[in-house]
Amino acid sequence: MLLGVSMFGQRTANEIPRDHPLFLHHYSGFGLNHRIHPLGATIASQQLTHLDKFLDQKRIFVQQFEKAVKGIPFLEPPHYHNRTPSWYVFVMQFKQEKCTVPIEEFLQRLHDVGLTEFVRPGLLGEDNHELPLFTNPDQIWPETFKECILKKQGPFPKAQKFIQNAVKLPVWAHPSDQEIVSIYIKGLLQVAKQIEK
């Protein structure tokens, strides 16, 4: 139980026996991550003093991404009306009906020209709403969750469609990253133009 509270991923996959009922939670842990290394805390403390500058720079780069994507008929920029995102990633929607190639080929063409930061979400290998942490929280926290609401709700077709058509790109945070941002925008526009022919 302690391992699930403080860890997730490879370590829990290796250390929780596969036949144990909590093994299903090794991808996400128990939704908590109660550990931080002192060096990590020191770095985070220093970085947080620059947070406003980082967020301002991210917004500048997002405006550049949005301008580029608006010219590509098969990509739709994110919608964030009346909100101010922190811009960890820039998530676009791929519109297959407006493109001559499937999403996998589009991404492969981007990767072929060195734009490997364009990826599809799915670090954990499945949709987040399908992780046992969310579908069976009663296994971990029986005193809190007598039954799980998600089991009653069934599938989430809008979430599944969104994730299937999502293409994401990190949003850089420093003015010195302008060169890489420009390279990604130029490369994206070139690949999109080739596909549109």
- Determine the pLDDT at residue 24: 66
Query: Mean pLDDT across the stretch 15-21?
Result: 75
Q: Are 122 and 163 in contact (CB under 8 A)?
A: yes
Q: Are 162 and 95 in contact (CB under 8 A)?
A: no
| CA–CA dist 16, 37 (Å, integer) | 23
- Determine the pLDDT at residue 85: 92
Answer whether residue 124 shows pLDDT above 60: no
Q: Which part of the chain has CATH 3.90.1150.10?
A: 50-196
Quickly state the pLDDT bin for 142 (edges 50, 70, 90). confident
Query: Mean pLDDT across the stretch 114-143?
Result: 74
Answer whether residue 152 shows pLDDT above 70: no
* CATH architecture, range 50-196: Alpha-Beta Complex (3.90)
More confident residue, 81 or 56: 56
- Determine the pLDDT at residue 9: 58
Query: Mean pLDDT across the stretch 63-68?
Result: 97
